[in-house]
Amino acid sequence: MRKIFLISILLIAGAYDLRACDICGCGVGSYYIGILPDFKKRFVGLRYQYKTLTSHLGPGGSRSYLTTAETYQTAELWGGWNIGRRFRVIGFVPLNFNSRENQGVSMHRSGVGDIAAVGYYQLLDKQQTAGSKLLVQSLWMGAGIKLPTGRYEPAEHKENEDAPNNFQLGTASTDFTLNAMYDVRLMDVGLNANVSYKINTNNRYDYQYGNKFTANLLAYYKIRLKEKLTIAPNAGMLYETAAKDRETKKYKVDISGGYSLMATIGMEATIGNISAGANFQPAVSQQLADMRIKAGNRAMVHVTYLF
């Protein structure tokens, strides 16, 4: 149990020492995983994510006639494939729906976002008994790539320099991720940890989103109701940091950077080959773009086919 505790701490503790792209997970290039469906070979599914952001805040978070409400919705095709016992590939194809409203004037932007893929290698796959109970551990390490398939509007940033450059469908850059997934379960009670560090490159418009670090920790409990029906209520925390964006590789963008801490509560269910889940993520603490940006609560639902 001491080894389990140390691994969990190491996976999460790095979040407080690193500076990381898009503010608070809104807008471009955010790939939250959470608890994966319990699949043996492959899965494919649809996820829907809803996020909000308030920008153009004044000193101390005060509102003015410039204050803008932004909504980011994503319908995402995602899937995973276990290759043999040690390799796993997960892919994401997002369709983004962005909206912005200020004083009754609305603006909308929608289209395909940046597709991404992550490859994992399983470093730990262990089952043992702890007293009379079964203890199961797994650790996956991997790396991924995000391609510039989403549309990027350079004029958006030039015309709104006092707002975060989030209202984009893509980043116009090829970016890379380093990932780790750790899961430990004692009988039906488990702990799941995910960490990801995203390395962003300079795009062709000479804009570079800051590198991003994300870590989430979820506790869950599996309840078997019938032979083919299992539910797993879960709760935990999600932490993200965002470094300042840069222009021409040297000038920091003031309206960028910061951190957010979200609570997470959700439910996963598996009925035969069908997995479904939902979670709600209320904001707990944040400091974004020198308090000129405020993240709202988030929600996500998914339906997945296991085969």
The pLDDT, as a whole number, for residue 192 is 97
What is the residue-level pLDDT of the chain in tens, covering all 307 positions? 444 444 444 444 443 333 334 666 666 555 678 888 888 899 999 999 999 999 888 887 788 888 999 999 999 999 999 999 999 999 999 999 999 999 889 999 999 999 999 999 999 999 998 888 999 999 999 999 999 999 999 998 888 877 789 899 999 999 999 999 999 999 999 999 999 999 999 999 999 999 999 999 999 999 999 888 999 999 999 999 989 999 998 899 988 899 999 999 999 999 999 999 999 999 999 998 888 889 999 999 999 999 9
Q: Which residues contact 257 (CB under 8 A, 6 or more apart)?
A: 19, 23, 210, 242, 243, 244, 245, 288, 289
pLDDT at residue 20 in the model: 35
Predicted local distance difference test score (pLDDT) of residue 27: 60
**pLDDT recorded at residue 5:** 41
Q: State the Cα–Cα distance between residues 29 and 260, nearest whole angstrom.
A: 16
Residue 172 contacts residue 148 (beta carbons within 8 Å):
yes
Question: What one-letter code names the amino acid at 79?
Answer: G
pLDDT of 160: 81
Q: What end-to-end distance do the CA atoms of the chain give, in Å?
A: 33
User: What six digits make up the tokens of 176?
Assistant: 């890379």
Give me the pLDDT at residue 296, please: 93
With 0-12 / 13-18 / 19 or more C-beta atoms within 10 angstroms meaning exposed / middle / buried, residue 257 is buried
C-alpha angle 225-38-83 in degrees, rounded to nearest 5: 155
Which of 184, 187, 185, 183 has its CA nearest to residue 133?
Answer: 187
Got the DSSP string for 7-29?
HHHHHHHGGGT-----GGG-SSS
